[in-house]
Amino acid sequence: MLSVIDLEKTYETDEEALRGVSLEVSDNAIVAMIGPSGAGKSTFIRCVNRLVEPSAGTVWLDGVEVTALPQDDLPEVRRDMGMIFQEFNLVERLTVMENVLSGRLGYVNVWQAYRRKFAPEDIKRAYELLERVGLKGYENVRADKLSGGQRQRVGIARAVIQRPKILLVDEPTSSLDPETSRVVMALLTDIAKEDNIPVLINIHEVSLAEEFSERIVGLRKGKIVFEGTPAELTEGVRDHIYKGSPISEDSPVKETVSTTEVPNLREIDRAGIRG
């Protein structure tokens, strides 16, 4: 279970990207985080595995306080968090198989990493995963020869082979066309369900979030302003997340935007989590 409490991040540029964000992702939940560009979604995900150092707040993963770990212990906890990137971030000049196996780098020593000596069961699992993501027979193809969709499939396999306790997914489909986006999302969520991995996923396309997630979190200017099921994400709420427009109580709001504002939606949501 991932539990984040009052996470804050202020960059050196004095940009307050996160202003006290609390969130829990438990069991095998699929949680989507939506929000306008610059809301702090990527920053949040990167603070969880400390690719970005949070300014304040705590992150817990299955009883380990990630934010309390010294720098040297980070690799060990990162092994338990699989990450999937918007730009895929495959090592372009390595083969598909090498990229998938890089998910096991936390379990081999330096010499083995250099010689690409991974445990036989990891190699077996890599073959299974490649088949699962539909890339059977691609193991010796170099990553730079793949299409965007294929690359993201490798990205998924690389994250899943870690046997992570959570998948952190940052806009997995922004570099893909709409059709491929849906296929990749379906694949990702199916695998997560099969393997019982909870998923925290940043996503731009609200429709994909609604279709593939069980819980949606709305982030705006570094704060959570909505948290609920896809059904509760009415158009009014959406406008509130994306445009900051005030929100009426009798949602779903349609064409007109009501002027009566819910005093502080975020407080309600916070109460909801804590309660």
Partner 1 sequence: MMQAAATDDKYVWERYDSRQRLVRYIAVLATAVAVVISWTLLDINYSYVATAPREMNDLFSRMYPPNLAYTGEIVAPLIETIHISILGTALAVVLSLPVAWMGANNTTPNKATYSLGKFIITVSRSVNVIIWALIFVIVFGPGALSGVLAVGVRSIGFMSKLLAESIEEIDHGQVEAVVATGASSLKTVIYGVIPQVKPAFVGITTYRWDINVRASTIIGFVGAGGIGMELTTSINYFRWANVLTILLTILGVVIFSEVFSAYMRRKVS
Partner 2 sequence: MATHIEPERRTWEPPTAFANKTVKWIVYAVIVVFFLWSAWGVRISFDRLLIGLESGANLIQSMFPPDFGPRQLNLIRIGMIETVAMAIVATVIGVVISLPVAFMAAENIAPKPVYAVGRFLISVSRAFHELIVAIIAVKAVGFGALAGILALSFKTVGFFAKLLAEDLEDIDEGQIEAIRAVGGSRGKVLLYGMIPQVIPRIVGLTIYRWDINIRHSTIVGIVGAGGIGITLLNSFDRYEYDFALAVIIVIVAIVLGAEVLSAVLRRRVQ
Ligand X SMILES: Nc1ncnc2c1ncn2[C@@H]1O[C@H](COP(=O)(O)OP(=O)(O)OP(=O)(O)O)[C@@H](O)[C@H]1O
Q: List residues binding partner 2 (CB under 8 A).
A: 95, 97-98, 115-116, 120, 123-124, 126-127, 139-140
- Cβ within 8 Å of residue 53, ≥6 positions away: 47
Q: What are phi and psi of 224, to 5 degrees?
A: -80, 125
Candidate list 4, 17, 66, 85; residue touching partner 1; CB under 8 A: 85
Q: Interface with ligand X includes 35 (CB under 6 A)?
A: yes
Q: Interface with ligand X includes 13 (CB under 6 A)?
A: yes
Which of Mg ion, ligand X, partner 2, none is residue 43 near (CB under 5 to 8 Å by kind)?
Answer: ligand X
Q: Interface with partner 1 includes 41 (CB under 8 A)?
A: no
Which stretch in 12-20, 68-76, 188-196, 237-245 sits in contact with ligand X by CB under 6 A? 12-20
Which stretch in 108-116, 128-136, 209-217, 230-238 sits in contact with partner 1 by CB under 8 A? 108-116
Contact criterion met (CB below 8 Å) for 126 and 107: no
Contact criterion met (CB below 8 Å) for 212 and 30: yes
Task: Choose between 30 and 48: whose C-beta lies nearer to partner 1.
Answer: 48
Q: What whole-number distance in Å separates Cα of residue 266 and Cα of residue 52?
A: 25
Task: Choose between 77 and 199: whose C-beta lies nearer to partner 1.
Answer: 77
Residues from 55 through 84 that contact partner 1 (CB under 8 A): 74-83
CA angle 54, 56, 58 (to 5 degrees): 85
3-state secondary structure of 100: helix
Contact criterion met (CB below 8 Å) for 243 and 228: no
CA gyration radius for the chain?
19
Which of partner 1, partner 2, Mg ion, none is residue 97 near (CB under 5 to 8 Å by kind)?
Answer: partner 2
Candidate list 42, 102, 181, 251; residue touching Mg ion; CB under 5 A: 42
Count of residues of this chain found to bind ligand X when the rule CB under 6 A is applied: 12
Task: Choose between 38 and 134: whose C-beta lies nearer to ligand X.
Answer: 38
Contact criterion met (CB below 8 Å) for 81 and 164: yes
Return the amino acid letter for 30.
Answer: I
Q: How far is the CB of 147 from partner 2 (least distance, A)?
A: 20
Q: Interface with partner 1 includes 49 (CB under 8 A)?
A: yes
Tell me if the bond preceding 75 is cis, omega within 30° of 0: no
Q: Interface with ligand X includes 232 (CB under 6 A)?
A: no
- Cβ within 8 Å of residue 48, ≥6 positions away: 2, 4, 59, 66, 81, 166, 168, 200
Task: Choose between 65 and 249: whose C-beta lies nearer to partner 1.
Answer: 65
In the complex, the residues that contact Mg ion under the rule CB under 5 A are 42
